[in-house]
Amino acid sequence: MPALVLLGAQWGDEGKGKATDLLGGSVDYVVRYQGGNNAGHTVVVGDQKYALHLLPSGILSPGCTPVIGNGVVVDPSVLLSELSGLNERGVDTSKLLISGNAHIITPYNVTVDKVTERFLGKRKIGTTGRGIGPTYADKINRVGIRVQDLYDESILTQKVEAALDVKNQILTKLYNRRAITATQVVEELLGYAEQIEPYVADTVLILNQALDDDKVVLFEGGQGTLLDIDHGTYPFVTSSNPTAGGACTGAGVGPTKISRVIGILKAYTTRVGAGPFPTELFDEDGEALRRIGGERGVTTGRDRRCGWFDAVIARYATRVNGLTDFFLTKLDVLSGWEQIPVCVAYDIDGERVEELPYSQTDFHHAKPVYEYLPGWQEDISEAKTFADLPKNAQAYVKALEDMSGAPISAIGVGPGREETIEINSFL
Ligand code: IMP
């Protein structure tokens, strides 16, 4: 029962699509277990580039069954437009399975996300504005709408009315917006029901049976470890659990079934939205990383904040996820620097700190303590094995591995499918 979890070890956008793509052919199921269309990954297949937001990347591998687990929040209009976009390009999407227990992002959740951010002003989170937080809030408040509710009009109506009762008070009295009528929302949601129905399934049963049958199941995390609602840089986080434990709750499989947990780690660091980021650069080096790395959000189109590699974060990711391996991405972006700073610890109010502080105040005060590693000038995109890398690039990878606490089993040296050095097989 090879069950692998693949997740972001930093703040998301580490290049997970490339890693799932590498495993593509050998995986039977690719499962998303949290988040929604706030995620975004680009998968390159041949000369075709696909930007996916909600669908699991396995949708592009013909032999693979893509699954949207119970822990995901689904915007039906985005789901259907992503599916039809792929169909138009000749991709067969008929194998997709969607948990009946997944929650629906309703139009009022999107409205609440946007008006709340506006209301917060300077204190805003910098959300993707896709209604993710408000939908998870409704789930926890037990006023959420689930995929299965689309198939019982009377229940759906009751639930939408209940959810809007409070929300309309807030929208009209606090935010000075117009009230949203339940009938309109119900009508819109019912309009999606028939098209989605063929995909709806008992995904928990199907996935556990698949594991019993020794199928290879890959759990694909959206966002990243430091955006986790429990283990991230709260409150500047997303509203779900991208960390490894989220795969169990968000897909309905027990922790004893997980055999490998792979952290995707960018050779430098990026972050979108607000919140602390100790190694962030505001100079030409940051600009160069952004330009060479193409650091612009797939979902939002926002420029990503860029900085040097932070080993404190990588160690933390190893610990909270129980990582067995790292997939180091975008090493090629670092070609051309004389020397490359790596953050090995923090200086917090004059004290050297080796581990991520649990205190938000301390983390906001953290200043990077750098070690400077010698750079390399060569283009490394043609490297096929570790030995093909320039000596200084090899030393950089080894140093990161030693500091981060898990073996680096694959290295991305370019965006294409074949531009990956595999050191240890993931299967
Ligand atoms: P939300 O997930 O839209 O609620 O946004 C919460 C925070 O998570 C914001 O800082 C977003 O920029 C960030 N975020 C959400 N999804 C992603 C992602 O896929 N990559 C990177 N950051 C993300």
Q: Whose CA is nearest to atom 10 of ligand 1?
A: 273
DSSP state of 132: H
Does residue 245 lie in a domain region?
yes
Whether residue 194 sits in one domain with residue 209: no
The best mutation among 114, 120, 227, 296 to test binding of ligand 1, ranked by most ligand atoms within 8 Å of the C-beta, falls on: 227
Rg (alpha carbons) of the chain, rounded to whole number: 22
Q: Render each residue's pLDDT in the chain as its tens digit; 427 residues.
A: 689 999 999 999 998 877 876 786 789 999 999 999 998 777 777 788 888 899 998 888 888 999 999 999 999 999 999 999 999 999 999 999 999 999 999 999 999 999 999 999 999 999 999 999 999 999 999 999 999 999 999 999 999 999 999 999 999 999 999 999 999 999 999 999 999 999 999 999 999 999 999 999 999 999 999 999 999 999 999 999 999 999 999 999 999 999 999 999 999 999 999 999 999 999 999 999 999 999 987 777 889 999 999 999 999 999 999 999 999 999 999 999 999 999 999 999 999 999 999 999 999 999 999 999 999 999 999 999 999 999 999 999 999 999 999 999 999 999 887 899 999 998 8
Residue 47 confidence (pLDDT): 80
Query: Residue 383: CB within 6 Å of ligand 1?
Result: no
Q: Which atom of ligand 1 is nearest to the CA of 13?
A: 20
pLDDT at residue 60, rounded to an integer: 87
Determine if ligand 1 sits within 6 Å of the CB of residue 126.
Answer: yes
**Number of structural domains in the chain:** 2
Query: Which residue from 139, 130, 137, 138 is spatially nearest to 111, judged by alpha carbons?
Result: 130
Output the CA 136–ligand 1 centroid distance in Å: 14
Distance 39 CA to ligand 1 centre (A): 7
Domain check: are 234 and 374 in the same one?
A: yes
Shared domain check, 190 and 266: no
The Å distance, Cα 271 to ligand 1 centre, comes to 9
Q: Say yes or no: 192 and 219 in one domain.
A: no
Inter-residue contact 129 to 185 (CB < 8 Å): no
Give a yes or no: residue 248 inside a domain: yes
What is the atom index within ligand 1 of the atom nearest the CA of 299? 19
Mutation pick for ligand 1 pocket among 52, 223, 298 (CB with most ligand atoms within 8 Å): 223
Question: Using CA of residue 386, residue 391, residue 392, residue 398, what is the dihedral sign?
Answer: positive
Q: Is the CB of 135 under 6 A from ligand 1?
A: no
Q: How far is the CA of 205 from the centre of ligand 1 (A)?
A: 30
Q: How many CB atoms lie within 10 A of CB 31?
A: 30
Alpha-carbon distances of 217 from 2, 38, 53, 96, 374, rounded to whole Å:
7, 23, 20, 14, 40
Residue 15 CA to ligand 1 center (angstroms) comes to 15
Alpha-carbon distance values, 162 to 108, 166, 340 (Å): 13, 8, 55
pLDDT digits (tens, 9 = 90+) for 211-243: 999 999 999 999 999 999 999 999 999 999 999
Is 407 domain-assigned?
Answer: yes
Contact 70, 42 (CB under 8 A): no
The best mutation among 13, 38, 42 to test binding of ligand 1, ranked by most ligand atoms within 8 Å of the C-beta, falls on 38
What pLDDT score does 17 carry?
A: 74
Report CA(132)–ligand 1 centroid distance (Å): 9
Count the helix, strand and coil residues of the chain and give each as a percent rounded to the nearest 5.
40, 20, 40
Contact by Cβ (8 Å): 108, 170: no
Task: Give the domain CATH number at 172.
Answer: 1.10.300.10
Q: Which among 198, 232, 260 is the end of a domain?
A: 198
d(CA 423, CA 427): 12
Q: Buried b vs exposed e over 63-76: b needs ≥16 C-beta within 10 Å?
A: ebbbbbbbbbbbbb
d(CA 262, CA 317) in angstroms, rounded, equals 10
| Final residue in a domain of this structure, among 171, 198, 225 | 198
Q: Is 37 in the pocket of ligand 1 (CB under 6 A)?
A: no
pTM value?
0.95
Q: Do both 9 and 47 map to the same domain?
A: yes
What was the pLDDT predicted at 256? 97
- Ligand 1 contacts CB of residue 128 (under 6 A): yes
Ligand 1 nearest-atom number relative to CA 302: 12
Instruction: Tell whether 98 is covered by a domain.
Output: no
- Which of 291, 297, 250, 247 lies closest to 272, judged by CA? 297
Q: How far apart are CA 210 and CA 66, in angstroms?
A: 13
| Contact assessment for residue 264 and residue 327, using Cβ atoms and an 8 Å cutoff | yes
141: containing domain? 103-198
The percentage of the chain sitting over the pLDDT mark of 90, rounded to a whole number, equals 89
Question: Are 215 and 316 contained in the same domain?
Answer: yes
> Do 58 and 163 meet the contact criterion of CB atoms below 8 Å apart?
no
Indicate whether 96 belongs to any domain.
no
Does 95 fall in a domain?
A: no
Instruction: Give 171-193 pLDDT, tens digit per residue.
Output: 999 999 999 999 999 999 999 99
The response to whether residue 223 sits with its C-beta less than 6 Å from ligand 1 reads yes
Residues belonging to the active site:
13, 41
Choosing from 170, 198, 226, the residue where a domain stops is 198
Domain shared by 316 and 302, yes or no: yes
Give the helix/strand (H/E) hosting 421. strand 420-422
Regarding whether 299 and 255 lie in a shared domain, the answer is yes
* Alpha carbon distance 126, 120 (integer Å): 10
Give 273 Cα–ligand 1 centroid separation in angstroms. Answer: 7
Q: Are residues 190 and 122 in the same domain?
A: yes
The residues, any chain, with a CB within 8 Å of residue 46's CB and separated by 6 or more, are 417
Cβ distance 12 to 277 under 8 Å?
no
Same domain, 258 and 292: yes
Which CATH number belongs to the domain containing residue 328 in this structure?
3.90.170.10
Do residues 275 and 233 lie in contact, with contact meaning Cβ atoms separated by under 8 Å? Answer: yes
